[in-house]
Structure 1
Amino acid sequence: MSAHLYDEGHTIAGWTGFGIATVGSGLVGLGVCTASVVAVVGGLAVVAGGALVTWVLHLSGWGKPPGVRPHGQWGMRVRDTAARDGHSGCVSCRLAGRGRTRTTAVAPAAPAVGEGEPVLGADVRPSA
């Protein structure tokens, strides 16, 4: 079995997000070393932007779900054609509303209270 069958994160979306998050983390570290609140907040904003960019790229087909893929999907520059429908078990796709099956659940009816049975909480007194 080849190691390339299970290549989680080896996508354009993954590497782009990694690069942006690395720059943001470096900016946060610089802000901590220089005691600059502006640099720390700016670095955290860059990291958050990197997460957003990665999510958008994943939803547009440049990120693939983890797991075994066919040989034609091994390349990093191969766009995922199943991204529009959503990947099963993918948190990113679920956050975007993809990959869910829309079913309507019906709640079971409550059992009927028979005649002569006291209802919980009711004031039950013997008749005179």
Structure 2
Amino acid sequence: MSAHQYDEGHTVAGWTGFGIAAVGTAVAGAGVCAVSALLIGAGLGIVAVSVVVTWALHLTGWGKPPGRRDREQWGMRVRDPSARAGHAGCVGCRLAGRGRRRGRVAEGRAVVARESAPVGETAA
């Protein structure tokens, strides 16, 4: 067996989100069968809650990024130590403001924009 394993979605965040979304779709489906706008709306609301719950669990370390992981990270109940810094290419982390730099840095120095000269004047 290789030193890495793909286990996409096999996390506490993934399974919790799936469970809540399954209940939501069942309620919405019952609403369709009963021709009840209230049940359909409630079911869609539950599905929306599942998205928020899954995102919150992911940000607290119970969801892992896609891709290969070391053997220590294979277990479903193992928290992700890199969650605080944000995962590369993760939309959920970017929405939370994680995983991106606050400013550009070139050669170890901050890049500072030059001030432009007012219209009609030349910069010295």
* Shared fold, TM over 0.5: yes
The residue aligned with 1:64 is 64
The residue aligned with 2:101 is 101
CA deviations 1:5-34 (Å, max 9, x no partner) are: 111100000000000000000111000011
Structure 1 CA distance for aligned equivalents of residues 72 and 101 of structure 2: 27
The residue aligned with 2:44 is 44
The residue aligned with 1:15 is 15
CA deviations 1:94-125 (Å, max 9, x no partner) are: 00000001224748x7xxx9xxxxxxxxxxxx
Structure 2 CA distance for aligned equivalents of residues 6 and 91 of structure 1: 19
User: TM-score under structure 2 normalisation?
Assistant: 0.81
2:68 is paired with a residue whose SS is: coil
The residue aligned with 1:73 is 73
User: TM-score under structure 1 normalisation?
Assistant: 0.79
The 4+ residue runs of structure 1 with deviation greater than 6 A are: none
Larger Rg: 1
Structure 1 CA distance for aligned equivalents of residues 71 and 89 of structure 2: 21
Gaps of 5+ in 2: 105-110
The residue aligned with 1:116 is none
Structure 2 CA distance for aligned equivalents of residues 88 and 66 of structure 1: 10
Aligned residues: 111
The residue aligned with 1:28 is 28
The residue aligned with 1:119 is none
**Aligned partner letter, 1:41:** G
1:69 is paired with a residue whose SS is: strand
Structure 1 CA distance for aligned equivalents of residues 74 and 102 of structure 2: 31
The residue aligned with 2:89 is 89
The residue aligned with 2:108 is none
The residue aligned with 2:107 is none
1:5 is paired with a residue whose SS is: strand
What's the RMSD between the two structures over aligned residues?
Answer: 2.2
Gaps of 5+ in 1: 114-128
